[in-house]
């Protein structure tokens, strides 16, 4: 490894050549100055958005001047092309924005496209200064195996591509599976994760077998790891295995709604270590280790279907006939948006309270996350209906028995 | 941004404030391109062997001048001109190139290198034949000769006590059960021409002249011998050199033709079992091996300091003491400085190489073969393959070879 670094480091020897220095100056100076034009004395300059094109244009003119003067300028042209290629990624980003949602697009750009461009640029630059094919043949020893720098580089690149780039193909396969097999959306997401893990696993196996890694050495490393697993990283491993099990079992999948500390939360993602859940009431995201779901009981509203039965308690004054109140309650609930017609809302007399007869109005909603808003709607509908039919919701009441009044003698 | 500007200025100003030219000690980084056959580039072992030899020139110079770093960058021979052209355009061209004499002339002709310079007293010690190959009409040198590589026979002493002295004995060796290898690459097959007296015919055709009837007959005889040899079970014909060398190094072959630049690698595998001898003579005369001259060409993009360091190192490499040391330690590279004779008494290998050098000179077929362009060379290779595998008769094959050479030469002359 030191030999490789030394080989590459000798490239600084080119800097003592005046032509190379001139080219660097001609390309770097306008771009650096242009980058600084954004603000002048703390105020954004009108030509701020043109700073980069101006810088590139000046650099181009500088290279033209070198050409006319008969000075070597190809390296400057190469550097300028690299910079222009980088700038061209911005329009590509805008193009992708037309057909991709923001989050996957941002991840694609930041995890795949830009890093790949930087890698290709670094490789091209190295090839200008050295002979990349020769560097790729330099030998390395890894876990008792002799391989070349080129092989190791390709292996690392493949692993990275598999880890980062396996998402979209896995999502596509899962979408296809959903269309052909009629899966639910949460099953599709689970399947996408499973596909992804499978692709990553197969990719890693392929890379290791191509590298020809010594199986004995790998087993030795794994043996050492197992001790670590027993002590330091057992939680991590436990979470990883829990996550896999949950995926296969299907009990906790993206899209599911679980009750966490009394709040309905939607599972957004199931990762290698933890699941991310979204809590509606305060827009919080909860990161819960996978093994929590594995070892504790979980309340879910979406295991078999997404229906949730909600309930509202209301009291009506004793003087109102329950046969009149109950139909009014059911009718009020039926009118509210979000309340399902089937199963129909049902109201029940559930008790004789101190101040009123207690009724329970039970109704079904389609989205468990909307419970609060639908209950609010039902509550208001009840008030309106009661008000229009003269049904009283009494305040807490006390009946005072005055001894003098009860015995018939006069008195207040 | 300000810090970036300051860094850039610091880099550019590092060249200022230097001591006077005459007093400057060699220093800095030299980028040396090493041109090698394509197959050697792809094999790390082969590359290592080449660098190991070149280190015998690099290390002593660095011991004298520790501030110098010399970096070897290998390139395939067929890619070199293109790479140098591109990198010269970028200002990242080499300071020195280690190439064949023909490539040095091509580089100079294409203005991709500058004339070679060295102290006159050193140049006067060099092989005049080698200098003649490199001198341009204006008297300037396209390159500075460094060492000579010869062509000879390599044999495995543990399988074969002595190398066959003639082609008949070679075939008898294979008939006796010992496998021998032959390369069908035209440049590696050229040694056979002299054994049949066909070298003159090839040389004439490569000049654009129709060869004599005897010359043609000799060529037919040579091709017939190749086709007959192919019928023998233990004569293995290779369309590329690298597998032949590999199998010889692993002990599967008893005898192959080889070049002296392969000896370092072969010695690693075979050790003292590696034997070196002259190539077998044929019914028509002695074998016609081809010497290869390795030459320093000077790059065009060097800074003043790099130019001085390159010239100092190139001159250092052709000094008598360094040349002698190179010869003794590699026993595969012969010196071009004739001030000190080759110490043939110290090594049978050196004795053989020196004898081969005398035998080959820089004969007409060498010049002829190296004047042929790659496309025509590929055509020659196909014809040789066809004759060897009897899809074309030797007479027709000889005619095709000669026609291709004549046509190529006349095209080049237009």
Q: In the predicted model, is pLDDT for residue B369 greater than 50?
A: yes
Chain B nearest-CA distance from A300, in A, is 55
Tell if the CB–CB gap between A17 and B28 is shorter than 8 Å.
no
Query: Which one of A75, A134, A139 has the shortest CB-CB distance to B90?
Result: A75
Question: Does A347 fall in a domain?
Answer: yes
Q: Are A256 and A368 in contact (CB under 8 A)?
A: no
In this complex, the residue of A16, A23, A75 whose CB is nearest that of residue B306 is A16
pLDDT tens digits, A297-324: 888 877 777 788 899 999 999 999 999 9
Q: Which residues contact A30 (CB under 8 A, 6 or more apart)?
A: A54, A55, A56, A57, A58, A59, A62
CB-CB neighbors (< 8 A) of A17 in chain B: 91, 301-303, 306
Count how many pairs of residues, chain A against chain B, have C-beta atoms within 8 Å.
101
- Grouping H, G, I as helix, E, B as strand and the rest as coil, residue B129 is helix
Q: How far is A43 from chain B (nearest CA, A)?
A: 17
Same structural domain, A289 and A312:
no
Same domain, A290 and A319: no
Mean pLDDT of chain A: 84
What confidence tens digit (pLDDT) does each residue in A122-181 have?
A: 999 999 998 888 788 777 777 677 788 888 888 888 888 888 878 778 878 888 888 888
Does residue A373 share a domain with residue A345? yes
pTM to 2 decimal places: 0.73
A144 close to A216: Cβ distance less than 8 angstroms: yes
pLDDT number for residue B387: 87
For B65, how many CA atoms within 13 A lie in the half-sphere containing its CB?
19
Tell if the CB–CB gap between B8 and A129 is shorter than 8 Å: no
What pLDDT was estimated at residue A217?
62
Q: How many domains does chain A have?
A: 2
**Eight-state DSSP code of residue B135:** B
Does B73 contact A134 at a Cβ distance shorter than 8 Å?
Answer: yes
**Do A313 and A294 share a structural domain?**
no
Per-residue pLDDT at A214 exceeds 80:
no
Q: Is the pLDDT of residue A407 over 60?
A: no
- CB contacts of B45 in chain A (<8 Å) are none
Q: State whether A378 and A356 are in the same domain.
A: yes
Range of A369's domain? 308-389
Sheet holding A346-352, edge to edge: A308-316, A357-365, A346-352
B242 compared with A1, residue with greater pLDDT: B242
Q: What interface predicted TM-score (ipTM) does this complex get?
A: 0.78
Which of B92, B95, B302, B304 to mutate to test binding with chain A, by most A CBs within 10 Å of its CB?
B92
* Closest Cβ opposite residue B92 in set A29, A36, A75: A75
In this structure, the answer to whether residues A330 and A363 fall within a common structural domain is yes
Would you call B41 and A35 a contact, using CB atoms and an 8 Å cutoff? no
Helix (DSSP H) and strand (DSSP E) numbers for chain A: 17, 12
pLDDT of residue B17: 45
B11·A24 Cβ contact <8 A: yes
Q: Do A75 and B14 touch (CB under 8 A)?
A: no
For residues A291 and A312, membership in a common domain is answered with no
Q: Is residue A83 part of a domain?
A: no
Residue B26 has pLDDT above 90, yes or no: no
> Do B302 and A13 make contact, defined as CB atoms within 8 angstroms?
no
- Put simply, the chain B residues between 306 and 345 with a CB less than 8 A from any chain A CB are 306
A340-399, pLDDT tens digit by residue?
A: 999 999 999 999 999 999 999 999 998 888 888 999 999 999 999 999 999 999 998 887
Of A10, A17, A29, the CB nearest to B91: A17
For chain B, the straight-line distance linking the first and the last C-alpha, in angstroms and rounded, comes to: 59
Residue A104, in any domain of the structure: no
Q: Do A134 and B41 touch (CB under 8 A)?
A: yes
B333-357: average pLDDT: 84
Helix (H) or strand (E) holding B300: none
| Residue A404 within a domain | no
B41 and A20 within 8 Å at the Cβ level: the answer is: no
Those residues with Cβ within 8 angstroms of residue A362's Cβ, 6 or more apart along the chain or in another chain = A309, A310, A311, A345, A346, A347, A348
Looking at chain B, which residue has its C-alpha nearest residue A135? Answer: B73
User: What is the band of A213 on the pLDDT scale with cuts at 50, 70, 90?
Assistant: low
A324 and A292 in a single domain? The answer is no
In this structure, what CATH number is given to the domain that contains residue A365? 3.30.70.100
Q: Which residue of B has its CA nearest to A77?
A: B90
Instruction: Using alpha carbons, list the distances in angstroms from residue A255 to A242, A280, A300, B164.
Output: 18, 13, 11, 82
pLDDT at A23: 94
Token duo for residue A358: 């207690």
Give whichever of A385-399, B5-19, B329-343 has the largest mean pLDDT.
Answer: A385-399
Element (H, E) at A1: none
DSSP of A88-135? THHHHHHHHHTTS-HHHHHHIIIIIIHHHHHHHHHHHHHHHHS-HHHH
**Strand A284-289, strand A274-279: pairing:** antiparallel
Measure CB to CB from residue B5 to each of A32, A72, A73 and give the nearest one. A32
Instruction: Choose the final residue of a domain: A269, A300, A331.
Output: A300
Q: What is the pLDDT of residue A410?
A: 46
B75 interaction partners in chain A (CB closer than 8 Å): 131, 134
Does A374 share its domain with A347? yes
The pLDDT value recorded for residue B20 is 45
In B224-306, at which residue ranges do the beta strands (DSSP E only) sit? 235-238, 255-259, 274-277, 292-298
DSSP-assigned letter for residue B116: B
Give the nearest partner residue to B8 out of A19, A24, A72, using CB atoms: A24
Closest CA to B76 of B266, B279, B242, B302: B242
- 3-class DSSP assignment, residue A153: helix
CA distance B43 to B178: 27
Q: Is residue A93 in a domain?
A: no
What letter does residue B246 receive in the DSSP assignment? Answer: H
Is A328 part of any domain?
yes
Question: Taking a C-beta distance cutoff of 8 angstroms, is the pair A309, A363 a contact?
Answer: yes
Same domain, A368 and A339: yes
Distances (CA, A) of B247 to A65, B52, B92, B241, B244: 56, 22, 39, 10, 5
Is the peptide bond between A394 and the residue preceding it cis, with omega within 30 degrees of 0?
A: no
> A337 and A367 in one domain?
yes
Q: Which of B73, B75, B305 sits opposite A16 (nearest CB)?
A: B305
Residues in CB range of A134: below 8 A, 6 or more apart: B41, B47, B73, B74, B75
């Amino acid at each position: 490894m030191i030999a490789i670094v030394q080989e590459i480091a000798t490239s600084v020897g080119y800097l003592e050549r005046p032509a190379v220095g001139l080219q660097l100056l001609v390309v770097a100076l306008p771009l650096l100055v242009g980058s600084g034009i954004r603000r002048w004395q703390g105020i954004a300059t009108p030509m701020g958005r043109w700073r980069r094109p101006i810088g590139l244009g000046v650099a181009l003119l500088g290279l033209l001047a070198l050409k006319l003067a008969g000075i070597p300028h190809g390296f400057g042209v190469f550097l300028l092309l690299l910079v222009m290629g980088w700038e061209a990624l911005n329009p590509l980003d805008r193009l992708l924005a037309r057909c991709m949602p923001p989050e996957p697009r941002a991840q694609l750009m930041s995890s795949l496209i830009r890093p790949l461009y930087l890698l290709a640029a670094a490789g091209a630059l190295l090839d200008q200064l050295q002979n990349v094919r020769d560097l790729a043949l330099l030998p390395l020893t890894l876990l008792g195996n002799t391989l070349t720098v080129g092989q190791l580089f390709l292996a690392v690149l493949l692993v990275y591509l598999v880890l980062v780039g396996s998402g979209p193909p896995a999502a596509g396969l899962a979408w296809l599976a959903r269309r052909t097999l009629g899966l639910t959306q949460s099953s599709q997401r689970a399947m996408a994760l499973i596909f992804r893990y499978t692709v990553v696993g197969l990719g890693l196996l392929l890379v290791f077998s191509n590298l020809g890694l010594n199986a004995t050495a790998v087993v030795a490393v794994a043996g050492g790891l197992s001790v670590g697993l027993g002590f330091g990283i057992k939680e991590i491993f436990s979470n990883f295995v829990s996550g896999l099990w949950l995926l296969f079992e299907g009990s906790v999948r993206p899209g599911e709604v679980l009750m966490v500390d009394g709040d309905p939360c939607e599972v957004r993602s199931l990762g290698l270590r933890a699941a991310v859940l979204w809590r509606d009431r305060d827009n919080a995201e909860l990161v819960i280790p996978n093994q929590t779901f594995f070892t504790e009981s979980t309340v879910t509203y979406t295991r078999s279907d997404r229906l949730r039965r909600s309930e509202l308690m209301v009291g009506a004054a004793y003087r109102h006939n329950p046969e009149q109140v109950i139909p009014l309650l059911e009718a009020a609930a039926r009118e509210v948006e979000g309340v399902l017609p089937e199963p129909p809302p049902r109201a029940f007399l559930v008790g004789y309270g101190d101040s009123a007869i207690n009724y329970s109005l039970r109704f079904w909603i389609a989205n468990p996350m909307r419970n609060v808003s639908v209950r609010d709607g039902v509550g208001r509908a009840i008030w309106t209906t009661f008000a229009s039919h003269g049904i009283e919701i009494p305040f807490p009441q006390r009946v005072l028995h005055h001894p003098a009044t009860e015995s018939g003698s006069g008195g207040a | 941004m300000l810090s970036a500007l300051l860094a850039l200025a610091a880099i550019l100003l590092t060249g200022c404030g230097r001591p006077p030219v005459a007093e400057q000690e060699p220093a800095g980084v030299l980028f040396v391109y090493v041109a090698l056959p394509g197959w050697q580039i792809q094999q790390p072992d082969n590359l290592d062997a080449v660098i190991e030899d070149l280190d015998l020139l690099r290390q002593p110079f660095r011991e004298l001048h520790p501030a110098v770093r010399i970096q070897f960058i290998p390139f395939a021979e067929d890619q070199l001109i293109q790479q140098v052209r591109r990198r010269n355009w970028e200002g990242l061209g080499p300071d020195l190139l280690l190439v064949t004499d023909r490539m040095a002339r091509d580089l100079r002709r294409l203005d991709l290198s500058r004339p070679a310079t060295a102290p006159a007293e050193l140049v006067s010690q060099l092989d005049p034949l080698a200098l003649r190959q490199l001198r341009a009409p204006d008297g300037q040198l396209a390159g500075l000769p460094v060492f000579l590589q010869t062509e000879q026979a390599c044999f495995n002493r543990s399988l074969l006590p002595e190398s066959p002295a003639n082609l008949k004995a070679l075939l008898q060796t294979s008939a006796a059960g010992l496998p021998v290898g032959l390369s069908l690459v035209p440049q590696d097959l050229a040694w056979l021409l002299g054994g049949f007296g066909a070298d003159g015919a090839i040389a004439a055709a490569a000049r654009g002249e129709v060869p004599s009837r005897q010359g043609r007959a000799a060529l037919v005889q040579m091709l017939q011998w190749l086709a007959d040899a192919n019928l023998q079970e233990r004569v293995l014909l290779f369309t590329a050199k690298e597998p032949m060398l590999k199998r010889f190094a692993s002990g599967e072959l008893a005898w192959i033709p080889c070049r002296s630049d392969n000896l370092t690698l072969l010695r690693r595998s075979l050790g003292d079992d590696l034997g070196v001898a002259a190539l077998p003579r044929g019914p028509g005369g002695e074998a016609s091996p081809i010497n290869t001259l390795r030459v320093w060409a000077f790059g065009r993009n060097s800074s003043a300091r790099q130019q001085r360091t390159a010239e100092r190192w190139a001159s250092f490499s052709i000094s008598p003491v360094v040349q002698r040391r190179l010869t003794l330690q590699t026993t595969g590279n012969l010196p071009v400085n004739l001030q000190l004779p080759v110490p043939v008494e110290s090594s049978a290998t050196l004795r053989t190489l020196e004898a081969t050098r005398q035998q080959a000179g820089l004969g007409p077929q060498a010049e002829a073969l190296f004047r042929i362009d790659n496309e025509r060379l590929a055509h020659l290779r196909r014809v040789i393959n066809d004759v060897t595998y009897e899809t074309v008769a030797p007479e027709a094959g000889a005619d095709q070879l000669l026609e291709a050479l004549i046509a190529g030469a006349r095209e080049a002359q237009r």
